[in-house]
Amino acid sequence: MKFWRKVEDRLTYVRIIALGYLVVILAGTSLLMLPISTRAGEKTDFLTALFTATTSTCVTGLVVADTGSHWTSFGHVVILLMIQIGGLGFVTMGVMLAMALKKKITLRTRGLLQESMNGMNMGGIVRLVRYALKGTLIIEVTGAALLAICFVPVFGWGRGIWYGIFHSISAFCNAGIDLLGPHYGEYSSFVPFCDNIMINVVLMMLIILGGIGFFVWDDLKAKKFHVKKYALHTKMTLYMTFLLVIGGTVLFLIFENDNLLKEMNTADKILAAMFSSVTARTAGFNTIDTAGLTNASKLLTIVFMFVGGSPGSTAGGIKTVTALVLLSYVWSNLRASKGVNIFNRRLDDDVIRKASNVVVISMLLAVTSWILICFIQPELSVIDVMFEIFSAIGTVGMSTGLTRELSVGSRIVIILLMYCGRIGSMSFALSFTERKKVAPVQLPTEKIMIG
């Protein structure tokens, strides 16, 4: 009895979340290893199944075997379930099941929900979950219907509807996994539909709605168009989302105008540039050849992948709000301002400290992995390895084609990065440390030189 109490005490919310995702990944790996999961009818090797289960559960999108060509309908269903669980969070899905069975939601479960959804308050967290699940269902069904309208004339009724459902969930959960390989060539993604306005717009809307976060949904619903009444978090999220989408579109237009966009008309150029801007922030789909991007576009994509979506969403990355907090902090210091102020509100010191931790830990993980893969496979392009690394830790899924060339050791590194990126780099670090009380006594200070 004492043993189990000690185990329960050591299982903090962060550790439960980390273990939960691990269980989902291992279960998915077991199912994908079954002969029924592959078109060849043969057992898939453990590492390929593990990589696919990790990229699905962590809603990343990097694949070592083309999803549409390698896996059967059974395998596709398994992958889709893992995408949905990974996108909404296994805790949220568990609570949904508990509510369906009319089970009581305990205080510990509410705390776990708050940690899982990155909620600011425990109060109202169950109501937020209900709203998130209802909103997710409506958005995914609407997206599936709109995509099916485009897919049915091309693939027929059965496959067209299934493709609509799969790609709607994949886009909303910011997974970026597609089934188009058997029709247009392996790893083609949505390149064949680069000029299809409806498919592009629907996918972009799904990605953005999934990436802004459930708290923002709730705030927008409650306050409608009264912008001044929005919570500071909502204002910061919408501001950064708008800035990154529009700014990214302009920069991609400039960087690719004489390259991949050269043969397109003006409307298609804008559509392709905007899609590249949106998908780079953790979605993983592409409508232009990622491997053919200029170095400037690759570096821009890396920056966007590192930033990612917004807190409490289906997206990964360090998050838009985190980036804005640090930019505001630097700007305030340069102006010698007292405190960090944004939208007529002052940011708490703990928020700045947490944002700094997230960025530093994520960057350390990325750089360490970058060096490690370059050491394991020195023949690989340095910038392509960098692209792959930030795609994995940002749970984006975009690739220059390097994923299939990775050795066993490099693939294990990418698997760990995808896992860290989904549960959060800081959460991953905290899962290995005990939360100790800080002593009231502090050591004496001494000045040092900086810069």
Q: Alpha-carbon distance 290 to 98, whole Å?
A: 42
Confidence of residue 435 (pLDDT cuts 50, 70, 90): low
Count how many Cα atoms sit within 13 Å of the Cα of residue 176 in the half-sphere of its side chain: 36
Q: What Rg value do the Cα atoms of the chain yield, rounded?
A: 22
Q: Is residue 445 domain-resident? A: no
Look at the chain and count its residues. 451
Range of weakest confidence among 179-183, 202-206, 214-218 = 214-218
Q: Is residue 420 domain-resident? A: yes
Q: Is residue 435 domain-resident? A: no
- What integer best gives the mean pLDDT of the chain? 87
CA angle 93, 399, 415 (to 5 degrees): 50
- Domain range spanning residue 263? 9-430
Q: Alpha-carbon distance 319 to 304, whole Å?
A: 10
Do the beta carbons of residue 261 and residue 272 sit within 8 Å?
A: yes
Domain tally, the chain: 1
Q: In the 8-state DSSP scheme, what is residue 176?
A: -
Is the pLDDT higher at 100 or at 150? Answer: 150
Q: Got the DSSP string for 123-159?
A: TTHHHHHHHHHHHHHHHHHHHHHHHHHHHHHHH-HHH
Q: Is residue 255 domain-resident? A: yes
pLDDT tens-digit profile of 144-188? 999 999 999 999 999 999 999 999 999 999 999 999 999 999 999
Q: Is residue 347 domain-resident? A: yes
- C-alpha distances in Å from residue 394, one per residue of 61, 89, 137, 250, 389: 11, 16, 25, 22, 8
Q: Is residue 444 domain-resident? A: no
Q: Is residue 441 domain-resident? A: no
Mean pLDDT computed over 124-139: 82
Do the beta carbons of residue 415 and residue 50 sit within 8 Å?
A: yes
CA dihedral 48, 208, 214, 366 (to 10 degrees): 50
What pTM was estimated for this model as a whole?
A: 0.90
Confidence of residue 427 (pLDDT cuts 50, 70, 90): low
pLDDT tens-digit profile of 3-37? 445 545 566 767 777 888 899 999 999 999 999 99
Q: Alpha-carbon distance 201 to 205, whole Å?
A: 6
pLDDT tens-digit profile of 308-342? 988 878 788 888 999 999 999 999 888 888 888 89
Q: Is residue 4 domain-resident? A: no
Q: Is 25 helix (H, G, I), strand (E, B) or coil?
A: helix
